[in-house]
């Protein structure tokens, strides 16, 4: 059953096959990295962990290469300037009067024109995009991005298993995994997410969480619903087949 769960976690999605169609080397690195992160958790082997870190370094290079040019944190387009000027006009005058003198505060400038504020706003926007599950399970609907070809990276049927897998990790997960995941999300927040393959560096982590979700779901079904186990699992596989056919039809059309 573990092989079936492994196949579902890594190969049963449009994301990995979209990557395969565009870059077979990246496809192999992602498969290798996904297997390593899962094996390193179960085997608790230093070699697996080191190999995973090495594959993650390669993925960082690939991610930076495909996200080019990286999102500028301070450069403003004509549209950005227009929006900024419009917003600045909405600020009321702010002043401080004391001892017969008046000090006018450039609040609009502080909040709309300072490069630090612009950079923080863009990092926060990138961060919110990266952690939005709609990006991975619902083609970013209803917040589709302009000039970006959105697609369902994972079947929406996988979302409950993904969340279930995260909840079931508990203290058993390697402590380095949350740290690495946080660092990668911060890295993506700085370079942006505007590329045709999405934040694929996160794929191994999705594979790990899905693996735990599927595995624990199977253990629960086998323990509590022994008589109905075959019916439940068969129904889910049929439903998954229909969902995958639907997603593939969207891509073909």
Q: Residues 181-204: pLDDT tens digits?
A: 999 999 999 988 778 888 999 999
Query: In this predicted structure, what is the pLDDT of residue 70?
Result: 62
Task: Please determine, for residue 74, whether its predicted confidence score (pLDDT) is greater than 80.
Answer: no
Percent of the chain with pLDDT over 70: 90
Listed range (28-32, 111-115, 146-150, 199-203) with the worst mean pLDDT: 146-150
pLDDT in tens, 106-134: 777 677 777 887 888 888 888 998 999 99
Q: Does residue 151 have a pLDDT over 90?
A: no
pLDDT at 103 over 80: no
Supply the pLDDT for residue 206: 96
- In this prediction, residue 42 carries a pLDDT of 74
Query: What is the bridge-based pairing of β-strands 94-98 and 101-105?
Result: antiparallel
Give the model's pLDDT for residue 68: 72
CB-count burial class (<10 Å; 0-12, 13-18, 19+) for 32: middle
pLDDT band (50, 70, 90) for residue 149: confident
Phi, psi of 175 (to 5 degrees): -65, -25
pLDDT, position 1: 58
| DSSP at 74 | S
- Give phi and psi for 44, each to the nearest 5: 55, 45
Q: What is the distance, to the nearest Å, from the Cα of residue 1 to the centroid of all Cα atoms in its chain?
A: 27
Query: What predicted TM-score, i.e. pTM, was given to this entire model?
Result: 0.86
pLDDT value at position 71? 64
The burial class, CB within 10 Å (0-12 / 13-18 / 19+), for 182 is exposed
**Token pair for 225:** 């619903």
Is 161's pLDDT higher than 90?
A: yes
């Amino acid at each position: 059953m573990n092989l079936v769960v492994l196949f579902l976690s890594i190969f049963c999605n449009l994301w990995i096959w979209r990557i395969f169609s565009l870059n077979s080397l990246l496809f192999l690195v992602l498969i290798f990295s996904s297997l390593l992160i899962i094996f390193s958790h179960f085997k608790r082997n230093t070699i697996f962990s080191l190999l995973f870190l090495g594959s993650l370094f390669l993925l960082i290079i690939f991610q930076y290469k495909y996200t080019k040019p990286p999102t500028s944190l301070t450069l403003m387009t004509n549209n950005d300037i227009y929006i900024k000027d419009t917003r600045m006009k909405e600020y009321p005058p702010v002043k401080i009067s004391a001892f017969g003198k008046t000090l006018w505060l450039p609040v609009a400038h502080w909040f709309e024109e300072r490069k630090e504020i612009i950079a923080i706003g863009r990092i926060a926007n990138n961060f919110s995009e990266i952690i939005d599950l709609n990006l991975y399970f619902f083609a970013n609907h209803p917040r589709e991005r302009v000039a970006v070809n959105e697609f369902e990276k994972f079947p929406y049927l996988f979302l409950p298993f993904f969340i279930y897998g995260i909840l079931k990790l508990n203290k058993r997960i390697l402590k380095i995994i949350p740290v690495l995941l946080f660092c990668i999300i911060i890295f993506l927040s700085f370079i942006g997410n505007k590329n045709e393959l999405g934040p694929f560096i996160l794929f191994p982590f999705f594979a790990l969480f899905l693996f735990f979700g599927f595995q624990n779901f199977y253990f629960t079904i086998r323990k509590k619903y022994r008589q109905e186990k075959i019916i439940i699992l068969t129904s889910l596989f049929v439903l998954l087949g229909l969902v995958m056919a639907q997603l593939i039809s969207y891509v073909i059309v």
